[in-house]
Chains A and B, each alone.
Chain A
Amino acid sequence: MNIIIIVLISLGLFFFFGTAVGMLRLPDFYTRSHAAGKGDTLSTALILLGCALFIMHEGHYSGASILVFLKLMSIIVFVFIGSPTASHAFIDAGYETGEKQWSNKKQAKKKP
């Protein structure tokens, strides 16, 4: 059981690291918010799942620890409802105010 918890939390950290790298290195507003919205939600869910399993394992599956496990599961449900909606909200706002998309063509340089 400990191995599962360690694997879950390190996968969560790996996805968080990927989110951070994506937010810094991707070229455009839309791609950056895509990385932030998806990676954020998934890594939060994995880390919280690992913590919830750890609490239940340490409490030897008693009533109180199952209650804590259910509360952490409900946090994951609300993060899955709220965080992608927030990403949709600001990408929509960016589209409405006219953010340009990045394309692969080289920009025309102005002659001095």
Chain B
Amino acid sequence: MIWQFDVILLTLVLVCAVISLSIRDLMASAIVFGAYSFLMCLVWTGMGAVDVAFTEAAVGAGVSTVFFVATIYRTTRQSNYKRKDLFIRSFSAVVVSVVALALFAVIADFPYWGDPFSPVNDYVGSYYITHTMAHSNVPNVVTSVLADYRGFDTMFETCVVFVACIGIYAILRRRKKQAKAEDTAVKHVAHDSLIIRVASQIMVPFMQLFALYVVAHGHHSPGGGFQGGVVLGASVILLALAFNVKTTLKYLSEKSMIAYSAIGVLIFAGTGLLCMFLGGNFLDYSVLSQILPYTDEVMARSHAMLIVEIGVALTVMSAMYGIYLSLATDGHFDQGL
């Protein structure tokens, strides 16, 4: 890609990172972090990694900023700075500069940026690129590496998302109502707006349709399980923001949120166990051609990747929705942002 754009964007990214950590107002810090995320998404698009940029735009710049704003809404908006914090700031600056000097001494030995004969491009990358169509008939190398060649990592990543959702829910969920009125950082004004409600009602079905398209088309275009799951979760969060939390809980209740996140992990690990029962290794999809009708070994891998991506999308959607509900309603699950 055009290297001048990349250099300017990388410098802007550094500036945004420093500013985001040094602003004293926490809400402004979260918004600048959203801008930092968008700039990183542009950097990765410039380097050709569209899948990662898609995920970062949806997760980092979209949902993650919503999570930060929800937390800041429920706690406080200011961060205190006292004189005695200066000691630990300068001490950690010294430690970090020592580590940075050690790392700078190492990067002189790396292959230069854009080297087509570096070990990463030569051995591992070219093997995956040349063999992906022959092994599983999936043109998108990112999806085939994610779900087939490195399926174990994706399975454990899905488990991590599930554990995060369950952990936040378990810590924050409260059952009895507080007697006194809580004071929040921002004054809570509950008012209803017709424009926002109607516009969200128009957008949410299209968002969900697009998310299903992204999950199903992940074999041929940038997409896959994580991206589709995040867009699905964002559509439910949009519904919760435009209406109130009680209405959204009627559509997708708390029990079904927990159930869907567990079912997603079950689909993924269950496919692996099914392959083991049929005689192959764990997550060795080619033995599934015995039970799927009219498929040979290559197409069995392609179909099993789609099943696994559906499991990932289900878990990610429920996790996004569950974390948003736990954070925004402060555990009470009755009234949100």
Instruction: Report the minimal beta-carbon distance from A83 to chain B, rounded to whole angstroms.
Output: 10
Within A67-96, which residues are at the interface with B (CB < 8 Å)? 78, 81-82, 85, 88-89, 92, 96
Is A97 in contact with chain B by the CB < 8 A criterion? yes
B4 within 8 A of A: no
Chain A residues bordering chain B, tally (CB within 8 A) = 9
- 8 Å CB interface, B198-252 against A: 199-200, 202-203, 206
Q: Determine the chain B residues whose CB is within 8 A of the CB of A96 once the complex forms.
A: 189, 191
**Contact with B203, one of A81, A88, A92, A97 (Cβ below 8 angstroms):** A81
A36-49 interface bits toward B, Cβ cutoff 8 Å, 1 = contact, 0 = none: 00000000000000
Q: B residues bordering A, Cβ < 8 Å?
A: 186-187, 189, 191, 193, 195-196, 199-200, 202-203, 206
Instruction: Write the chain A residue with the least CB distance to B199.
Output: A85
Nearest-neighbor residue (CB-CB) of B202 within chain A: A81
Closest to B196 in A: A89
- Find out whether the CB atom of A85 lies under 8 angstroms from the CB atom of B196: yes
Task: Specify which chain A residues have a CB less than 8 angstroms from the CB of B191 in the assembled complex.
Answer: 96
In angstroms, Cα B199 to Cα A96, docked, is 20
A89 to B196, CA, bound (A): 7
On whether the beta carbons of A81 and B189 are closer than 8 Å, the reply is no
* Distance A70 CA – B222 CA, assembled complex (angstroms): 18
10 pairs, CB–CB < 8 Å, chain A vs chain B: A81-B203, A82-B199, A85-B195, A85-B196, A88-B195, A88-B196, A89-B196, A92-B193, A97-B186, A97-B187
CB atoms of B206 and A78 under 8 A apart: yes
Closest to A89 in B: B196
> What residues of chain A lie closer than 8 Å to B193, measured between beta carbons?
88-89, 92
The answer to whether A78 touches B203 (Cβ under 8 A) is yes
User: How long is the Cα–Cα vector from A2 to B191 in the complex, in angstroms?
Assistant: 49
Which A residue's beta carbon lies closest to that of B238?
Answer: A82
Q: Which residues of A contact B187 (CB under 8 A)?
A: 97
The smallest beta-carbon distance between B272 and chain A, in angstroms, is 35
Report A75 CB to chain B, min CB distance, Å: 10
CA distance A17 to B253 in the complex (A): 45
A12–B191 CA distance with the chains assembled, in angstroms: 36
Chain A residue, CB-CB nearest to B207? A78
Shortest C-beta distance, A41 to chain B (Å), equals: 13
* Given A85-B196, A88-B196, A89-B196: A97 and B202 interface contact (C-beta under 8 Å): no
